[in-house]
Each structure stands twice: as structure tokens, then as C-alpha cells.
Chain A
Amino acid sequence: MLSRTLAIALATFHETVRDRLFYLVGFFGVALVGASMVLSPLTVGAQSKIVADVGLGSMALLGLLVVLLVGSNLVRKEMDRHTITTVLTKPVGRTDYLIGKYLGLALTLTVMIALMGLIYFGAVSMTTMKPGLAHLGAIYLTLLELLILTSAAVAFSFLVGNALSAVLTAALFVIGHLLRSLRDFAAMTEGLSQDVIMVAYRILPDLEVFNVRSEVVHGDAVGAGLIGMATFYGIGWVIVFLVVARALFDRKEL
């Protein structure tokens, strides 16, 4: 059973490699070096902070781009192209298939973030800042956030089309980062709007949990407790979205 899931995961990974998705890593490197060269002279004495901030930010945004382009298409594309039928007529269950596809893209994102991380470490090392565990933690948390968004994109894609799924995932990314501000805003309001915001706060993932860029840029430590808590929180949300995706997938006629 596991070998079939892994076979699907590896096939998905190879497909993304063939789709030249890793060109984005090169783009990241060029963008990071370019941005550092342009912005550093404008911020005397804060070059290392600029490099770290731009590096971590662009890593998250390029990862999001991959999630939007590939994640929302992950299973839908196979359904639209009918390539899924020959796979599911082998002794492969829909759960194995879904998890395999998800793990394949997760592997792609992991390798991509790891490569970007190497470039990032190289770029930061050339400044006065010494990249350490906090930087590693920030990169790891960025990956976790992308994995949640991927699972959400897959679930959305069973509800709506590919394009709308990408829009919903992008909206989740934005709202997920604004939830704390919205909660604070709700505390100042009353009535229905407060209730709506509080419901959203409770039922949507708080993606700020994974944002430690500010700590890293200012040289603060990122504690193991935070990393551990974020890991459980992230895995929990991935499971929730995948369970929803599996339930919706079950209703699909192929």
C-alpha cells in the first residue's frame, strides 16, 4: 500500500521537475542578489537585515506561487485529462492516490525551499549577519505554511475549478496572515461583525504562527517551543484539509 503511495509521490515529483518548476529557484537567487544590490545602498548599516527580509519574504512568495499554480491543479488536472482513470483502475485507493499526489508536491516544495535556503544562507553569510538556527527555523516554518496552503488548495480544487481554487488559496493566505489583526479589530467592535470575525478567527488557520521573519531580521531567537507548537498546528491543519479533500474526492465521478 505504502509503496503505491510512494510511487505516485515520486511520479508527481518527477512531473514537477519535468515542468521546469525548479527554474523558480534560479529566479529566487537572481532576485535575492539583485534586490540586495539595489536596496542595500539605500539602507546604510542594515544590509544584512534587507537581505534576510527580502530572502525569507521572496521564498514564501515564490513558494506560494508554486502552490497556486500546481497545488490547485494537482488532482483536478489529472481528472480533466483523464489520466487518473488508468491509475485508479489499478489496486490504488483514492486515499493512497490523494496522499501520494500531496506528498509528491510536498517533496517538490521541500527540495525547492531547501535549495532556496542554501542560496539564502550563502547570501546572508556575505553580510555582517551570521545565519544560524533562527534562520533555519524561519525557513522550516515557511515550508510548513506552504504545506498547509497546498492541502487547502487541493481541497478547494474539488469544490471549485482550478482558477477559483487558486483564488481561494490566495485569499486564505492573506486572511490567514491578517487574522490576528482582525481579532484585535473585532475586540473594538460589537454585534454581528464581531461574531463573524471571531468565527473566522476560530475556523481558519492562523498563518502568522509561521511568520518569524521579524524575529530573524532583528536577531532574536526562535524558540524550540514555538517550532514544536507550529509543527503540531501545521500538521493538524494539513490533516484537516486533506480529510476534507478526501471526502470531496469521494463524491467525484471519474
Chain B
Amino acid sequence: MSHPRAVGNGPAGSILTVDGLRKTYRQGFLGRRGAPAVADVSLEVRRGEIFALLGHNGAGKTTTLKAILGLVRPDRGRITIDGVDAARPESRESVGYLPEAPYFHENLAARELLDFYGKLLGLSREQRRERTAECLAQVGMAHEARRKLRDCSKGMRQRIGLAQALLNRPRLLILDEPQSGLDPLGRRQVRDLLLAEKRRGATIVFSSHIVPDVEAIADRVAMLRHGRLAEIKDLSSRPPSRCFRIVAAPPRTAEQPSSRWLEDPRWTVTETTSDRWILDVVGAGNLGALLAELDQASAAVHDVRARGGDLETEFLAGLERDHAQEVPSC
């Protein structure tokens, strides 16, 4: 089926549309096609939202992003950015992109690199000078502008990568696993930066396999499993929830948690044995209350671990379902 080339505005309210995307990579010397990396993925990203692609490793997130950016040629399907066919370079006039592992020319200093990208974006000399300084400041690299890329740490490169993605004040910001490999502070800075970009009016599309990262900022999430779009969930109306799992050793004198514990709706007792209690609780306030109760009961808390909320449960359940279908019965 041939698709007409669209130029102009996309569907009302959407900045990015992916329609029936399919991509299979060629493998081996003869270039045989293997299993599709992405199959029949269709989605629309609304202006001004933060849209996440969530999936396990190999789910097709990066391939989808690369197809959007024209880096891989889809076997089938049509992608438009602001109504312009994504295969055309003009579609990327107002797009910023951060790859999963940004690679840059090692010999260049940060500001030289940004100046080069500014030229590719068609910015004037004055605009390049101004935006380079602004973007480096935005990612906390203003004092490292003259540092050569080869002398930068992974975190610094990630920041420079973000700076180049922001250079043209993009209407659509696409990020591939922006928080992977960053320390907690770095993750928080990236999150804050993305939220600031959203406030500016940018639309953000990012991929991740880390559910809490998605839950923290995404308005909607597309769950990809084995190259297929499982579902799209709206998280914007969902109250922020954070699930914690607590592992505690019961006091020597205690036998089982009292019925008061079991009946308290603020948490769930998942396991109670003579030497271990496992309790799940949603929300930081409830966590505090539970820790106070455990302290009062003289139970030794061994572990408190943040977990995803409903989204993680759904995501994992979907993966387990797929896995169960794949494993042949004995």
C-alpha cells in the first residue's frame, strides 16, 4: 500500500503519528529477515504531553524511535512529525534527540560540538553563541564548555547530549533511555529538566525499561512487548503512587502480626513466617506509619525497597503472560 506524502499540520492535537509501523532487520551475510523488531505499532503523541515507551530490553523501543527519526527505514507503515513525513529531513527541523549512549567527536570541546550542531540546525552565529551558553548552563555544564569530549565522564556526555538536544528549543524532544546509567542525582536532574521542557510547551517522547522513571513523569505510556504495542495507558489522571516493600524480622516474643495489622487498609501483608514479615505499602505517608508500627512492635526492619505501583504490576504481569505463552508445556 502506498502512502501519500503529507505536508502541513498533523491531526489536530497530535504532533507525532505512527501508523502501522513494522521493521525487520536483515541478518547474516545473505541478509535474511528475522523476527520483526517492531510489528504493527500505531500511536499518536499529543502536543505538550510526556509520552513514554515502556518495554523490556529488545521490546522495540529504540527501533521505534529510530524509525521516527529516519535512522532506520520501516518495512511498512507511515510516520509523520507535525504532518511531515518522518523520512524527510525537514520533519526534524524542530526535533531534539538524545541517543541512549551519546557518541560525539572526541576532539571537540563541548561548545565547539554545540556550535557544529547549531550550524546543522541552521542557527545564526549569534543564535549559536547564545543557545550554546544557555543549554550548557541548563544541564550544569557551563563551566566545562571548553572541556574536550574525550576528557568527559559518562554523566558529562549525557548532559552534553541533552544540551545538543535542546539547542533548537525543540517542539518535540525524543530521548532514548535518558536516565539509564545515571546516578540518583543525575536521574533527578534529568527528570526536572524534562518537566521544565514540558512547562515550556515541548512534547517529550522517551523510552525506558524502568517503570518508576516512567510513572514519575509520563502523562501516557505505551507498553511494548516483543515488538508489539500491548496497550497505551493514561497516567495523567492517576494519583502519584509509589509502592514500597518492607522486609522485617518479627520480635522474638511475637508470633504472628495481630489482626489489627492485617485489617489495616493502608498496607498489605504479603508473607508472614516465624522469621520474616513482608509487607507492601503504597505512598510515602503510609510507609512512615508502617515503619512507626513496626518500631512499636519491636520488629527489626531489614529492607525497605521502592517498587513500581500499579503500572509495574501490570507491566510485569504482561511479560509473565507472554512468557507463559512462549514456554511449551511438558
Contact = CB atoms under 8 A, between A and B. Distances in A.
B92 A90 contact: yes
B137 interface: no
B104 A90 contact: no
Interface stretch (A79-87, A117-125, A140-148, A180-188): A79-87
B182 interface: no
Given A18-B107, A81-B103, A83-B105, A88 B71 contact: yes
Interface residues of A, number: 23
Given A11-B116, A83-B103, A89 B71 contact: yes
Contacts of B161: 86
Contacts, number: 68
A170 to B, nearest CB: 24
Given A88-B70, A253-B73, A3 B119 contact: yes
B97 A89 contact: yes
Interface string B149-162: 00000000000010
B32 to A, nearest CB: 15
Interface residue SS majority, chain B: loop
Given A83-B103, A253-B71, A91 B93 contact: yes
Nearest to A81: B103
A15 interface: yes
A37 interface: no
A91 B89 contact: yes
B249 interface: no
A91 B122 contact: yes
A4 B120 contact: yes
B116 A83 contact: no
Contact of A82 (B70, B90, B103, B164): B103
A22 to B, nearest CB: 15
Interface in B86-137: 89-93, 95, 97, 99, 101-105, 107, 116-117, 119-122
Nearest to B70: A88
A93 B86 CA distance: 11
A15 B103 contact: no
A7 interface: yes
Contacts of A85: 71, 99, 103
Contacts of B164: 86
Contact of A254 (B66, B95, B107): B66
A92 B90 CA distance: 8
Contacts of A83: 103-105
Given A86-B164, A253-B72, A254-B72, A93 B119 contact: no
B28 to A, nearest CB: 14
Contacts of B95: 89
Interface in A105-153: none
B69 interface: yes
B261 interface: no
B202 to A, nearest CB: 16
Contacts of A89: 69-71, 92, 95, 97
Interface string B44-78: 00000000000000000000001001111100000
B323 to A, nearest CB: 28
B120 A93 contact: no
A202 B70 CA distance: 38
A90 B25 contact: no
Contacts of B122: 3-4, 91
B270 to A, nearest CB: 44
Contacts of B107: 15, 18
A92 B89 contact: yes
B99 A82 contact: yes
A11 B90 CA distance: 22
Interface string B286-299: 00000000000000
B54 to A, nearest CB: 22
A18 B91 CA distance: 33
A127 to B, nearest CB: 41
Interface in A6-24: 7-8, 11, 15, 18
Contacts of A7: 116, 119-120
Nearest to A6: B119
Interface of B: 25, 66, 69-73, 89-93, 95, 97, 99, 101-105, 107, 116-117, 119-122, 161, 164
Given A88-B71, A91-B89, A250-B73, 13 more contacts: A11-B116, A83-B104, A85-B103, A86-B97, A86-B99, A86-B103, A86-B117, A88-B69, A89-B95, A90-B120, A91-B91, A96-B89, A253-B72
Interface of A: 3-4, 7-8, 11, 15, 18, 81-83, 85-93, 96, 250, 253-254
24 contacts: A4-B120, A4-B122, A8-B120, A18-B107, A82-B101, A82-B103, A85-B99, A86-B102, A86-B161, A87-B120, A88-B69, A88-B70, A89-B69, A89-B71, A89-B97, A90-B92, A90-B117, A90-B120, A91-B89, A93-B89, A253-B66, A253-B71, A254-B66, A254-B72
**Can you list the 8 inter-chain pairs with the closest CB atoms, starting with the nearest?**
A7-B119, A89-B97, A90-B120, A82-B103, A254-B71, A93-B89, A91-B89, A91-B92
